[in-house]
Structure 1
């Protein structure tokens, strides 16, 4: 698991007016909560945080959040964006207990699809029904992503949730709820050609 550090500064001012002033100054109002400590209001530089937010790890990895030089392990739990501007309005971070299991949505990375039998076959469409899955694990075991190797995918195959290869210490809670929750992650389906409308061929010949 790679480590990613985000820098923040503590703040005292609260309320909508204070948040507006921060945004005008190129800062993002945010809060850190959870664990045995009280919630803390913080602010982050928008430009650096926006660049970080373009990466998958910002949403699915444990972050080192440095507040006035003191680091805490956190997960991003909520992000409020401006409806049409490229602006982050507010962030919520949750403290992480390194000895307690956490539930996080982790992205899937699909490998070797183009070179698989299904990927090379004509008339076959490979569909990714899920692009991320919810996992449970200790913070130290949290992967940034899970690889799905499709090298052996054949036309007509279905890859189910239970077939994913998970890192040690990682499990999918959804699978404990019953067989009906073992959903399809990838499908390689034949595409049926649409039949020509009746009479179209005859009209073409007459013309």
Structure 2
């Protein structure tokens, strides 16, 4: 994805407020060989961009003053109740330096699996994104995982998935995390047995 940024000369709370009132978003780009640089972006264009998954998980091409550079979105501050981006941070990337990024997991085919189609099981997506390490050119926008072979009682782990070429998972204490688990359908509750009829009262004794 490509976007256009402009150099920003002033900083501070007052300057940022004036930018927001003018329909702009203050930001910063840092990292790489250059110094941190203050930038501003058009708010409406940015608001449309952040709705796209790729803007959050892929290498972006930033046009700043007619010069293109590759960056990653690193921080996004949004107003708690207004549809307004307050501030945005980008990190420059180098083609020869590996990056760490969280990539969304896209699951498909579970409706065709025997676990769902025949056994009526529930499929639980334990992880919806995966942190990976790779060169910028190898960073996938998403990782697609086919669940059409799932069976009742199955568990899909990271070792069961082939990652794209050049991509390695970044694991934090878990060697083989669970991605998907199959949950058996809840057993139907047995109908309650009818209550026993009350015992007949004994007949009164004759005097």
TM-score by length of 1: 0.90
Please give the alpha-carbon distance, in whole angstroms, between the structure 2 residues aligned to 1:53 and 1:150: 29
Q: 1:75 pairs with 72, 75, 99, which one?
A: 72
SS in 1 for 2:193: helix
Larger radius of gyration: 2
Q: In structure 2, do the counterparts of structure 1 residues 123 and 201 end up closer, same or farther at CA, with 3 Å as the change threshold?
A: farther
Name the structure 1 match of 2:160: 163
Structure 1: where are the runs of 5+ without partners?
none
Name the structure 2 match of 1:187: 181
Structure 2: where are the runs of 5+ without partners?
199-207
Q: 1:202 pairs with 150, 170, 194, which one?
A: 194
Higher mean displacement: 41-50 or 183-192: 183-192
Higher mean displacement: 41-50 or 180-189: 180-189
SS in 1 for 2:110: coil
Q: Counterparts in 2 of 1:18-37, with a 5 A limit?
A: 18-37=15-34
1:74 Cα deviation after fit = 0.2
Please give the alpha-carbon distance, in whole angstroms, between the structure 2 residues aligned to 1:88 and 1:164: 36
SS in 2 for 1:114: helix
Please give the alpha-carbon distance, in whole angstroms, between the structure 2 residues aligned to 1:26 and 1:147: 37
**RMSD after superposition:** 2.0
Higher mean displacement: 37-46 or 155-164: 155-164
Q: Is the 8 A contact 1:5 1:66 kept in 2?
A: yes
Please give the alpha-carbon distance, in whole angstroms, between the structure 1 residues aligned to 2:122 and 2:148: 15
1:181-200, Cα deviation, whole Å (9 max, x unpaired): 31110111112326458xx4
Please give the alpha-carbon distance, in whole angstroms, between the structure 1 residues aligned to 2:84 and 2:100: 27
Aligned residues: 198
1:51-73, Cα deviation, whole Å (9 max, x unpaired): 11001110110000111211110
1:138 Cα deviation after fit = 0.5
Please give the alpha-carbon distance, in whole angstroms, between the structure 2 residues aligned to 1:122 and 1:153: 11
Q: Counterparts in 2 of 1:47-196, with a 5 A limit?
A: 47-174=44-171, 177=173, 180-193=174-187, 195-196=189-190
More helix by share: 1
Q: 1:16 pairs with 13, 20, 29, which one?
A: 13
Q: Is the 8 A contact 2:119 2:152 kept in 1?
A: no
Please give the alpha-carbon distance, in whole angstroms, between the structure 2 residues aligned to 1:29 and 1:166: 36
Please give the alpha-carbon distance, in whole angstroms, between the structure 2 residues aligned to 1:76 and 1:120: 40
SS in 2 for 1:201: coil
Q: Is the 8 A contact 1:121 1:155 kept in 2?
A: no
